[in-house]
Amino acid sequence: MGKQRNTILVIGDGPTEFYYLKSLNDIYRGLSIKPDYPKHTNLKELGSKIEEGIRLGYRYIFCVIDMDNKKTEPTSTQYAKLKNKYSQPINRPKKGIYSEVFFFETHLCTELFFLYYFCYTSKLYADQESLLRDLNIHCEYIKTEEFFRKCKGLHSYFEKHGGKLAKAIENANRSLQDQMKDNRDYTFSELGKMFEKFENSNRL
C-alpha cells in the first residue's frame, strides 16, 4: 500500500471532467491522478466506479459532481444516500484497503470552474448554454470530445488564453463563502477544495 498512498482516482460525470483532469497530470507530477468517468452518467454507475476504485486500493477517490441534475427527485435522495454511504473512510484491514471518498460539487456544472479561470461570478444561470456563452467571451469553448482533443489539454488551453488555475481556485473558494453568506444553492464550486487536497496529498 506504500506506493498507493498518493494515488488518487478522480471520477467525473462525463468526458468534460475526464479531459480536464487528464490535462492536470503534468502539474501534479508527484501524484498519480487517474481520471475516469462512468459509461452511463447515473448514480448507480458512479457507485460502481467508487467500489471499483476501493477494490483497486486507491487511497483517495474524488468524485467531481455536476449539480444541475441532482436537485430533483428521485435523484436528489439517491445522491444524498450515496454521499452518506461514503461519509466515513472505508477501512478493510484484512484486504489491505483504506480509502477515503470525497464529493466535490459544482453548480451548474464544471464549466463554471473553467469560467473562474478568467473571472468571478455568482449570478444564477438558467441553463448550461448561458454559462457556456459567458465562457466563450474569454475563449472559444465547445462541449464536445472532438474539441477537448483538439485543445491538447484543457488546463493549458485556458492558461494560453489568459486564464489562471490559481485564480480559478481563489474564485471557487470565494463562491463557497458567498454561498454561505447569501444562503443560496446555486453558482458555486468546491473544486478549489479538491485542488487543496491534491496539494496536501502531494506533501505526504
Largest pairwise CA distance in the chain: 54
Looking at the predicted structure, is the pLDDT value of residue 4 above 50?
A: no
What residue type is 181 in one-letter code? K
**How many degrees, rounded to 5, is the angle at CA 172 between CA 119 and CA 151?**
65
Q: State how beta strands 97-107 and 90-92 pair.
A: antiparallel
Q: Is the pTM of this model over 0.85?
A: yes
What nine digits make up the cell of 169?
Answer: 481556485
Q: What is the pLDDT of residue 202?
A: 64
In a domain, 1, yes or no: no
> Could you tell me if 32 and 24 are in contact, meaning their C-beta atoms sit under 8 angstroms apart?
no
> Could you tell me if 12 and 18 are in contact, meaning their C-beta atoms sit under 8 angstroms apart?
yes
Chain mean pLDDT for the chain: 90
Closest to 115 (Cα-Cα) out of 156, 192, 168, 57: 168
In a domain, 42, yes or no: yes
The dihedrals phi and psi of 72, each to the nearest 5 degrees, come to -105, 155
63-108 per-position pLDDT tens digit: 999 998 888 899 999 999 999 999 999 999 988 899 999 999 999 9
Q: What is the pLDDT of residue 7?
A: 81
What residue type is 145 in one-letter code? E
In a domain, 85, yes or no: yes
- Percent of the chain, pLDDT > 70? 92
In a domain, 14, yes or no: yes
Q: From CA 31, how far away is CA 102, in angstroms rounded?
A: 17
Looking at the predicted structure, is the pLDDT value of residue 32 above 80?
A: no
Note down the domain range covering 184: 7-203
**Exposure string for 185-195, b = 16+ CB within 10 A, e = fewer:** ebbbbbbbbbb
Q: State how beta strands 97-107 and 188-189 pair.
A: antiparallel
Most confident of the ranges 9-13, 40-44, 63-67: 63-67
142-152 per-position pLDDT tens digit: 999 999 999 99
In a domain, 186, yes or no: yes
Q: From CA 165, how far away is CA 96, in angstroms rounded?
A: 35
Q: What is the domain count for the chain?
A: 1
Between 33 and 84, the higher pLDDT residue: 84
Residue 134: C-alpha distances to residues 42, 115, 160 (Å): 27, 8, 18
In a domain, 2, yes or no: no
Q: What is the pLDDT of residue 8?
A: 87
In a domain, 196, yes or no: yes
Q: Is 188 helix (H, G, I), strand (E, B) or coil?
A: strand
Looking at the predicted structure, is the pLDDT value of residue 157 above 70?
A: yes
In a domain, 179, yes or no: yes
